[in-house]
Each structure stands twice: as structure tokens, then as C-alpha cells.
Structure 1
Amino acid sequence: MTAISLNPAVVADRALLWHWLAEVFLTPPSAERLSALREGAGAKWLAALAAEPAFAEALTEIRAALASPLDAARLQTRLTIAFNGLFLGLGGKHTLAPNESAWTHGGRLFQAPVTEMSALLSACDLSLAQGCCEAPDHLSVELMLLAHLEAHADPRAEALQARLRLWLPGFCAAVRAEDRTGFWAGAAALLLAALDHATLIPQPEERTV
């Protein structure tokens, strides 16, 4: 089933997942968000996702990371340190740039994908938020754009999915190798599974995750 043939409920649920994953790879979770994911509406949503066999293994990792005996504030500190090391340069040679250019141009940033994604955003009458310091080929930008395209039954969604499938396996494998928390390793696995299982994203009771 292609992105443009999804029924409205499934499209909405996919958009929720793409936005959630975009946030996961854009910034470390706040203590408030962690609390929701551990025991609030977010926890119910993760449980619904985990019920789908294609997502079960990834969700096991995510939920295990969230089940830490640390309180939300301390877990948030731990995950922030891990995020900074994984994605913001504090990990030295182990840092992983969540940018398409880095994975399609031998580790170099600001290559052709930046121009191509800028053009696609412009063609969709979209732009990066004021103050955004990420490049247009950042994973989070591409996922949010994918959510927008699917929600509008835009056939360009299929091309963007194909684009993501080209570079995400390498990035996600590296995340798994470097992540010591299990949270981002699980999120990376969930991302790959969701790209290949268009109709398996369940509707949450509340959209506050």
C-alpha cells in the first residue's frame, strides 16, 4: 500500500509517529515528556505500538530504557548526556550526524541533499522555523516533511520515503552500535520498521505524546 492510498485515520497516526521520531532525533526528551511516556498517554501509545509484531522488538528497547529506576529528572539528565554525545559532537569521533549528507557523501555535511531538501520544502510552501539551526537534510526535518506530504496525499511522499530508505539503514546501524541507553537504538529500529509497514500504526487514545 502506498502512502497516498492510506485512509485518513492511518495517515494521522503515521504523522504522529513521524513527528514523535522527529522530536526524538532533534532534542533530548524533557522530564515532563519522559513522565508521559512512562506512565501517561504516551505510555499507552507505546503499548499500542508494541502490540504490532513488526514494532515489538523496537518498542521493547524503548520501554526498557524508560523503565529505568531513575526518576524522570535524573533519567532526563542521563538521556541528555547520551544525546549530546551521540548527535551534538560531544562524542568526538563517535558522534553521528543525523543528516542525509553525512551518510550519502562520505561524512561531509552540507552537500547536495541540503539543496534538494530546501527545494522540496520551498515547493511545498514550507520553510524551517525561525531560529532553527538544523540543515534542511536533518532527519527530523525530513520526517516532519514526510508527515506533511502524507497528510496532504501528496505523491511526493513516496519519493521522500524512498530517499529515507537509502540512507537510514547506515545511520540506524551506527546508532545501534553507539547508543548505550537503548532509547535511540530502539527509536532507530522503530523508524526503519515504520517505513516498511505503512498500515500497522495504531491510533492512540490521546494525541499528547
Structure 2
Amino acid sequence: MKIGLYFGSFNPIHIGHLVIANHFAEFSDLDQVWFVVTPHNPFKKKESLLDNHQRLELVYRATKDYTKLQPCDIEFGLPQPNYTINTLVHLEEKYPEHEFALIMGQDNLKSFHKWKNHDVILENYHLYVYPRRQTKADKTQFDDHEHIHLIPAPIMELSSTFIRKAIKEGKNVRPMLPEQAWIYLDEMNFYK
């Protein structure tokens, strides 16, 4: 099975994340997309970041009705700070029957050359890239690489930062969140 790994803090997961992940699961050769919830870095103080397991619960609730979308907590057990290459190696050891690929936004591709072992990642894994609003100046050295696949997914202009701020201001953001994630956020009074 070919698994696309969609990394993020998902603080909180929103409909933009689901639209992109579902698009890759349905309109590329990926069989599933796993939402890899990145753990809280213990050395960084971030007041607005929910606990690891609360964010995992949000992802679980948001994806439970989608057979091709799965939550993944693989990084919770890895030493911090962690690097993507370590996660990939760990996943391959744990799930040798799967082939893994990375999903990232086109904006992240611009800084990909700064990632630890980016050349090893590119040599051994495929990158599935979704578009962001950009100009011609945003071209990267990786645009024509055979392991990079630009997928014409919908451009989502929604961010978790915007949602957290809106909740704090008492705005109704319910349409921006998967229903079950909204219910959990509301019950727990997160971000207020």
C-alpha cells in the first residue's frame, strides 16, 4: 500500500486539511493519507498549542468516517527534536509492507534544501506537492525532479492560526472544522 504522510501540528485540524488529504487519497496514486501529528517540542513554550493527545483526538474524530484518511502518532515516541528522515526510517521498520511518500505544500518545497538529509529523502521517497498561491519567482531547484509530483489540489486559504484567533475572539468557526472535531473543541473549551 502506498501511504502519503501529511505532517503537521493540526492545531486544530480544519476542513482545508481534510480537503487536501482527501484530494491526494482520491486523485493521486496514493492509497491512504496518514495525518502525522507532530509532537510539542518540550523546549519551546507555545501557549496556544494543545497537548499532543488532544490534537491526535481531534484528528481521529475528524478522519474516523474516511477510510483512506488515518491519524498517526508515530512521532510521539521518537526523541525530540525529531527530523522527518528519522520518522521515515522508523515507519519503514514498523510497516515494511507499505511504501511511504511525503505530502507538502509548494511553499515548503522552497526550504526543502535546508531539511536534514533532504538529499537522502529525495533519493528514496516521492514528494507529493500541493499548490499554494505563488508567483513565478517561487520556482525551486526541485521543480523538475523525478521524485516530485505536483498535484493540482484545491488551494486552501484557511489556517489553524486564523481559527484559533477567531475562537479566542468569540467568532463562529464551526463551518471551518470537521463536525466531530468542532464538537470536541466546543466541549473542551479549547482556544478560548
TM-score bracket relative to the smaller structure: 0.3 to 0.5
Greater relative contact order (CA < 8 Å, ≥ 6 in sequence): 1
Greater fraction of residues in strand? 2
- TM-score where L is the length of structure 2: 0.33
